[in-house]
Structure 1
């Protein structure tokens, strides 16, 4: 390869686009980028995008994941978080790294997983994207078969559920159908700004428990 990524600087909030990248080049670039990095990649139709997230992006990504973990813990649902694991499928010519992802229904199938393989492993049940730079690739998620994608845009939550190969935006999550999360999660993320993380997480946990008690 004539161009080496170590000669290119991608500043936070910017995206590098490389065209006409074949699969072997894509694999080589992933190897060059390494696993311990802050950038995110998306690969489709021989186009590779490398995005360097802003601090605001990383904060929202971590805090939204914290809220989801509270929901799963309080509902006593086993889950397996895979963070920004690289999901790639050579047959489809696709590659993607979510901001966060969770195995929930398929948790037992990937428990202890060290390296994801499209040939034998299911896609994550839930993927999260914090979209500050118009980076959410729903078409790639659909081809990978991810059942549900949450997209945070302008501090609002969009819930996209896969139906017959295409995403439909829904009011309620299929994973948490009894919770008005489109309103609640953005409100608690804003509350973290005002009151701090720990205090807000405790308040959210108490709210989840109250919802569960009200339904029992």
Structure 2
């Protein structure tokens, strides 16, 4: 019987209650990375030895630092979609040129 691997990333957005109790479930599934957004706080977790540790950069998207992710998530709430996409593309071009 073939078992599909777990996804590389889970994203939790908390509006009413904490998702931290779900980390044990993700760890049991072998989910390597979990992002948790709680109002204006973004926490990135990396699975290390069956437990999650807070990290500053994504392993799934290594160009992205936690602060960059949060900035663009918050910008998406106040900017029009076209302006937001243009800002995101410009940021990515700059990051890739410097890599």
Normalised by the shorter chain, which TM-score bucket?
0.7 to 0.9
Cα distance between partner residues in 1 of 2:54 and 2:82: 31
Question: Do residues 195 (structure 1) and 85 (structure 2) align?
Answer: no
Say whether 1:149 aligns with 2:34: yes
Deviation at residue 194 of structure 1 after TM alignment? 2.3
Tell me how far apart the structure 2 counterparts of residues 170 and 189 of structure 1 sit (CA, whole Å): 18
Give the TM-score normalised by structure 2.
Answer: 0.85
Match of 2:14 among 119, 123, 131: 131
Corresponding pairs, count: 97
**Whole-Å Cα distance in 2 between the matches of residues 209 and 203 of structure 1?**
10
CA RMSD of aligned residues (A): 1.8
Measured against aligned partners, the alpha-carbon deviations of 1:37-75 in whole angstroms (never above 9, x if no partner) come to xxxxxxxxxxxxxxxxxxxxxxxxxxxxxxxxxxxxxxx
1:165 aligns to 2:40 (yes or no): no
The aligned runs of 1:23-34 (5 Å cut-off) are none
Q: Is 1:185 matched up with 2:72? A: no
Unaligned runs of 5+ in 2: none
| 2:4 counterpart of 1:121 | yes
Structure 1: where are the runs of 5+ without partners?
Answer: 1-116
Deviations 1:78-114 (A, max 9, x none): xxxxxxxxxxxxxxxxxxxxxxxxxxxxxxxxxxxxx
Query: Of the two structures, which has the highest relative contact order with CA contacts closer than 8 Å and spacing of 6 or more?
Result: 2
Please identify the structure whose Cα radius of gyration is greater: 1
